A and B are shown apart, each in its own frame.
Chain A
Amino acid sequence: MSKSTATRSKDTAPRIDPITLEVIRCGVVSITNQIDANITRTAFSSYVYEYKDFAVGLVDVNGQLVAQSTGGMPPFVADAVGTAVRDGLKIYGRERLFDGDVVVCNHPAVQGQHLNNTVMHTPIYGGPERATLLGFFALNVHWIDIGGVMHGSTDIFMEGLQLRTIKLWSKGEPVEEVYRIIENNTRMPVDVMGDISAQLAGCFLGRDLTLALADKYGADTYFAAVETIMAQGEASSRARIRDIPDGAYESEAFLDDDSLGAEPVPIRVKVVVDGEEMTIDFSGLADQVPGPLNSGYFGGGVTAARVAFKYLIAPREPANEGVFRPLKLILPEGKILSARPDAPMSNYSTPFPTVIDSVINCLSDALPHLATGAHFGTHSGFMMHGRRADGSRFHGHDSGHGGWGAGDGHDGAGPFRTMAHGDTRLIPMELQESLLPFRVCSLSLREDSGGPGKFRGGLGFRKEYEILHPCTLNTNLDRRKCPPWGVRGGKAAKTGCVTIIKATGEIETMGKAQNYKLQPGDRVILETGGGGGWGPPEEREVELIQRDLDRGYITPEGAVRDYEVRVEEGRVWRG
């Protein structure tokens, strides 16, 4: 159904011929991807390599994103690098950002994420005598440790070193004092300094490749290409939004607590579609909280809104500022995603999966073929620390991967990590067993955990550990009180859960274990949530129910309870 609204698309007639444009577009995307691969391979810390906790971006002379690597963490796709570059431009102005300068920034008033996320950027000068500013090459990398308390911060000053737009290199020379400051403010100087050199190499190589590309075609052509790339991204988003029926759509969910108190944290979201524009209204979010789940306006609100927007509107579109131009945000100051710069932010991304899911949920009726049931929606970190038999310290970080929502035409997938994670891989159990003092008794799909529906939600998993040496457990499973919902008549999934079976026979269940002491012989069972269903369960084909039963994705009891069927000697009957 097309709309009567007059088109508000700008005239996208390019100042550049379409062939040269495509050649430059392929070029800039390939440069960011190339640097992405380099960082993955050269970084010292596993956060960067395993979690892909970084992003590579090319921004224009005003700090607007032109191209970003296609891998990396979703929350960075939004605008992490551009925000930092704009702060650099605000503080130094173009005239004081010289060829060979490298600036770092992790500031809560700028990015507004935990202080580990540090953007490094360098100006790209090209043209005759390298006198023309072409843009900036920027990398955001999660520095593994920047000081601060390990857990339980109540303001940002407890969380470590703040660097607000500081020159790490000046006119092609390293500023050794800044290196010394950083090196002496981290618990892990080898890893951090190693990651910094990888990040720096990426900035320089990206700058040089971009420079070569721009110089080949000339600065004017390059600028025309950049402008057109953004205009086309914008036009593509507008075309997608135009197909969504106008209206105001709302949804509501909540987090169990802010990790300090016991009060739920409301996540109320409104999406307004009007012609070719979409407004995401976060006014109904919780106010900023005492626990460290806060984030700033850019690193929180803008980021979560843009990630949700990209899932819905532009999944295949290369990320650039133009793609997001038709997205408007309403977000008053002082909310959990627009916290003041002194708020604690160490777990800033905890609310993201629920916020993103809620935005998608708003459009489940307006975009029934695109929207999916909710995913398990929680980071479900599983941290153990202590000492091995030989006295050495260990710190093991495992995580719960859970089910994703079903969509029109397919069951939910997974287990995966959350919508705020990218290509994050499970740590192999053979590796864990050789390094950490536990044994894995089993890892299996968790039956009946997916939300019933015409299409069933994805399954969570069940992992059982046997503890071999005394250690301390911390977990952060949330969304235990607000289970992953179904859409279009689909049902909710099971929530996650940690069960501890003590060697003494005592059994305890919980979502958030805090400094829980474990002894040899104790068993810990981590069960993760599933994804929500799509469509009424009674419409599910009997063959699919039978298959799920044969495979043990559902139990006979589950089939009877959730799908209004009979099960006789392993066969499913309806009616």
Chain B
Amino acid sequence: MPHVVAVDIGGTFTDLVAFDHETGAVTYTKSPTTYDNFVEGILDCFTKGNLAPGEARFLNHGTTLVINSLIQRRGAKCALVTSAGFRDVLEIARANRPDPFDLHYQRDEPLIPRERRFEVPERIDANGEVLVPLDTGALETVAEDLKRLEIEAVAVFFMNSYLDPAHEEQAVAILKRLVPGVYVTHSAELTREWYEYERTSTVAANAYVGPQVNAYVRRLENDFRSKGYDGSLFMMGSNGGLLSVDRTCRQPIGLVESGPIGGCIGAGAYAEALGIRNVVAFDMGGTTAKCALVENGRFTVESVYYVNGYVQGFPIKWPVIDVVEVGSGGGSIAWLDGQKRLHVGPQSAGSTPGPVCYERGGAEPTVTDANLVLGRLNPHRFLGGELTLGLESARHAIAAKTATPLGYRGEEGLIRTADGIVSIATVLMAGAVRQVSVEHGLDPRDFALFAYGGGGPLHASALARELSIPMVVIPPEPGNFSAIGMLLADARIDTSETFTGILDDALAAGMDAGFRKMEAGAADALARDFGSGDVYFERKAEMRYHGQRHNIHVPITGLHTVIEIREAFERDYKRRYGHADSKAATELQALHLSAFARLRRPDIANLRRRASSGTASDAQIRQVYFGGAGGLLETAIYDRDALEPGFAAEGPAIIEEYGSTTLIWPSDRFEIGRMGEIRIGCG
């Protein structure tokens, strides 16, 4: 039985989704993440689902290994080999100070300390000409130091290598010979764009995680092979596409945001299948809420990603889905500052100790506690009843830590405060959605809100109200949605090159030639990695008005003439920024190519769980509080598994299922769509 299997290793749980192409059967399992050896958790998921690894054909895999290693600084002992005169580029960075009034601001330490950054004479000039040949003798001396220091991974960066990587490649070849067994990587194999700090930082990060990712992926592959698996193993890339094992080992940095990507892909695929052009993908978990825009089935990909955030962290020049994150999740703590101002997050109780109502030692009230107090969560059906929530402890914490100090008294004050905590979380999340939409010149009212993650369905309707979004969609299995998304991903390889000049006929011709060359290279790579597949390309030109510093990525697939390209640029520019200048010259900065190979993927209409024995008429009634919309109301509580497509009802209502709860407001109306999705028409 050929299964396609996706596995998402999260901070708390490892999720598995398996789809049987022959029978259409879907299996969902969940197991605690095993930090000592992730493979054990995966195999446990197989066992729970009565699946044997030998039955699977494709295994798509997402992991937080890379980001955790970078943030917790658990990577390899690295060295940097760089052009003479430039070993401090990594430490000086861009010399900026994003936190403007902090006298004590400190950036995160560089991944490679100064004593392990080595310079060798070589220089390529700004025209790509060799000014100083690579000093191979100096490289041999460096190799001795690498051995003496027991270096595990080496990053090679040379100035202007974006124009000609020959010296970097030469150095890599020599180092691989001189220090065998050491992981060696160079900047131009990761990005061909200029900006020395960004490239150095990227290659340093790639070296830092290289040995760990290699060991992990090889072990995963071996363990599965030894259990009889002979299919393909793919990794979920931050760009929203699958990567082969070989590519992952060379470019492990491509997994930097492997985790949240699955949900975005799933949102895009569902939106397309449902005929909804534009959605805001909204994922709310325990510590944060994340959102991303999906337009016409496509998500935005940013070309720079900051590890540990822009304020403290360092950049990676790598395409990553543009996800905006805000520190309000179910575990976010409500607290008062010295002026008795109520805040929610960004501190989180996480999963340990968790919200007060988990009764595992958490003492600070959280968003989940507030939802429980408002009657929105069923204390006996949390995670399918695996955890009973303590209503009294939640009430007590909210009263003692927030309501009473704020001057609220009695039952009404408690409810008002709990409602306020949820409202503030909602406003913060609305800010994140605005950041990905209004700031780009897009109007949220033209989007549907596509909500998943444990907390997404609970807050989506209120969030939609805040943003005047007319429709909310809750997919099947919102708690497992990231893994589902991974089942639906194509293979993808992104490449980019710096390509500058004022847009004119000659430049457009040169650009076309440049893209063709990139396409040929990417097609070869896809064929090597995935076999001869159904390949397609998307071209984007990074453009700006002459003299501006901010570039936009303009999709120009199928466009060739100056007029066509210029029109596409102006349309995008005006949409994003509200104005365009038909007189100003436009210039190119870089070419970005995304090459895809379509892989066999399940029909998403089949991904809903089969209905249980119950029916909609089994609905219970519970008192649930709706602030500003009638207060405490008798509310119908449905079991999602009992609702068949076509079922429709008015709010207020709650739909409960394993891993999530959907809240429907009094003036909302909902129905179950043909793919099992809940569609909510908001007020």
Bound complex: CA A372 to CA B545 (Å): 43
Residues of chain A within 8 A of B36, CB atoms compared: none
Q: Choose among A49, A315, A424, A461 the residue that contacts B88 (Cβ–Cβ < 8 A).
A: A461
Are the C-beta atoms of A74 and B550 separated by less than 8 Å?
no
State which residues 620-677 of B face A: CB under 8 Å.
Answer: none
The verdict on A132 contacting chain B, using a C-beta distance below 8 Å, is: no
The verdict on B423 contacting chain A, using a C-beta distance below 8 Å, is: yes
Q: Choose among B88, B439, B547 the residue that contacts A38 (Cβ–Cβ < 8 A).
A: B439
The verdict on B277 contacting chain A, using a C-beta distance below 8 Å, is: no
Are the C-beta atoms of B577 and A41 separated by less than 8 Å?
yes
The verdict on A443 contacting chain B, using a C-beta distance below 8 Å, is: yes
Bound complex: CA A550 to CA B126 (Å): 33
Are the C-beta atoms of A22 and B420 separated by less than 8 Å?
yes
The verdict on B103 contacting chain A, using a C-beta distance below 8 Å, is: yes
Q: Which residue of A lies closest to B417 (CB)?
A: A19
Residues of chain B within 8 A of A434, CB atoms compared: 126, 194
The verdict on B54 contacting chain A, using a C-beta distance below 8 Å, is: no
Are the C-beta atoms of A416 and B195 separated by less than 8 Å?
no
Q: Choose among A21, A26, A312, A415 the residue that contacts B92 (Cβ–Cβ < 8 A).
A: A415
Are the C-beta atoms of A30 and B417 separated by less than 8 Å?
no
Are the C-beta atoms of A34 and B103 separated by less than 8 Å?
no
Are the C-beta atoms of B340 and A431 separated by less than 8 Å?
no
Q: Which residue of B lies closest to A407 (CB)?
A: B104
Bound complex: CA A407 to CA B103 (Å): 8
Are the C-beta atoms of A44 and B548 separated by less than 8 Å?
yes
- Say yes or no: A194-B100 contact (C-beta < 8 A), given A22-B341, A401-B95, A461-B92: no
State which residues 416-463 of A face B: CB under 8 Å.
Answer: 416-417, 421-426, 428-431, 433-434, 439-445, 461
The verdict on A335 contacting chain B, using a C-beta distance below 8 Å, is: no
Bound complex: CA A9 to CA B321 (Å): 49
Q: Which residue of A lies closest to B421 (CB)?
A: A19
Q: Which residue of A lies closest to B407 (CB)?
A: A18
Residues of chain B within 8 A of A344, CB atoms compared: none
Q: Choose among A26, A70, A370 the residue that contacts B428 (Cβ–Cβ < 8 A).
A: A26
- Say yes or no: A431-B194 contact (C-beta < 8 A), given A74-B101, A201-B578, A422-B97: yes
Count A-B contacts at CB 8 Å.
199
The verdict on A42 contacting chain B, using a C-beta distance below 8 Å, is: yes
Are the C-beta atoms of B423 and A42 separated by less than 8 Å?
no
Bits for B158-181, please: 1 = Cβ < 8 Å to A, else 0: 011010000000000000000000
Bound complex: CA A65 to CA B125 (Å): 50
Are the C-beta atoms of A41 and B98 separated by less than 8 Å?
no
- Say yes or no: A311-B97 contact (C-beta < 8 A), given A18-B420, A442-B84, A551-B113: no
Q: Choose among A34, A371, A422 the residue that contacts B438 (Cβ–Cβ < 8 A).
A: A34
Question: Shortest CB–CB separation between residue B587 and chain A, in angstroms?
Answer: 13
State which residues 407-458 of B face A: CB under 8 Å.
Answer: 407, 416-417, 419-420, 423-424, 427-428, 431, 434-435, 438-439
Q: Which residue of B lies closest to A47 (CB)?
A: B549
Bound complex: CA A21 to CA B424 (Å): 10
Q: Choose among B100, B341, B550 the residue that contacts A423 (Cβ–Cβ < 8 A).
A: B100
Residues of chain A within 8 A of B159, CB atoms compared: 429-430
Given contacts A34-B435, A44-B547, A416-B97, 15 further A-B contacts (CB under 8 A): A23-B427, A26-B431, A44-B548, A190-B584, A201-B579, A311-B101, A314-B101, A415-B95, A422-B100, A425-B95, A430-B194, A433-B125, A439-B125, A444-B88, A550-B115
16 example contacts (A-B, Cβ-Cβ < 8 A) are as follows A12-B339, A23-B423, A43-B548, A190-B581, A194-B548, A194-B581, A198-B577, A205-B578, A410-B104, A410-B106, A415-B92, A416-B97, A425-B94, A425-B96, A426-B94, A551-B113
Give A contacts to B, CB under 8 Å.
Answer: 12, 17-19, 21-23, 25-27, 30, 34, 37-38, 40-46, 49-50, 70-72, 74, 77, 190-191, 194, 197-198, 201, 205, 232, 235-236, 239, 310-312, 314-316, 360, 370-372, 401, 404-405, 407, 410, 413-417, 421-426, 428-431, 433-434, 439-445, 461, 464, 550-553
Give B contacts to A, CB under 8 Å.
Answer: 84-89, 91-98, 100-107, 113-115, 125-126, 159-160, 162, 194-198, 338-343, 406-407, 416-417, 419-420, 423-424, 427-428, 431, 434-435, 438-439, 545, 547-550, 576-579, 581, 584
A-B pairs, 5 with minimum CB distance = A442-B85, A19-B420, A433-B126, A425-B94, A401-B95
